Amino acid sequence: MKINESPYQCHIFVCTKTRDGIRRSCGDHDNGGLKAALKQEIKDRGWKSRVRVSDSGCLGLCDEGPNVLIHPQKIWLSAVTSEDIPDIIQTIEKLLES
């Protein structure tokens, strides 16, 4: 095993996990669009070398989803919609400035 330091100042994980269709999950919502929109915003701002956006499997709070985790800053966002993207971007901007 090789241990490396992350090349990113923050890594945004967007849960896209789907379950059996009976129980609620983050993947029941349009979070594929959420991830794509976040990626585009990061790209448009020229932050791709500092911020990574990735799919995530279950983060454990399915009933509160869609969930987004900003790592390593330990920022957990629940019930996220595309309308929250400007606030998420503003949060990331503050993190990159600090």
| Residues paired with residue 53 on neighbouring β-strands, in sequence order | 12
At 32, the pLDDT band (50, 70, 90 cuts) reads low
**What pTM does this model have?**
0.89
78-98 pLDDT per residue, tens: 999 989 999 999 999 999 998
Residue 29 pLDDT exceeds 90: no
Residue 57 pLDDT exceeds 60: yes
Can you tell me whether residue 5 is helix, strand or coil? coil
Residue 59 pLDDT exceeds 90: no
- Please provide the CATH number assigned to the domain covering 12-97: 3.40.30.10
Please state, for a pLDDT cut of 90, what percent of the chain lies above it: 66
Pairing of strands 10-15, 51-56: parallel
Provide mean pLDDT across the span 55-84: 91
From CA 30, how far away is CA 81, in angstroms rounded? 8
Whole-number Cα distances in Å, 20 to 17, 41, 57, 72, 92: 10, 32, 14, 30, 33
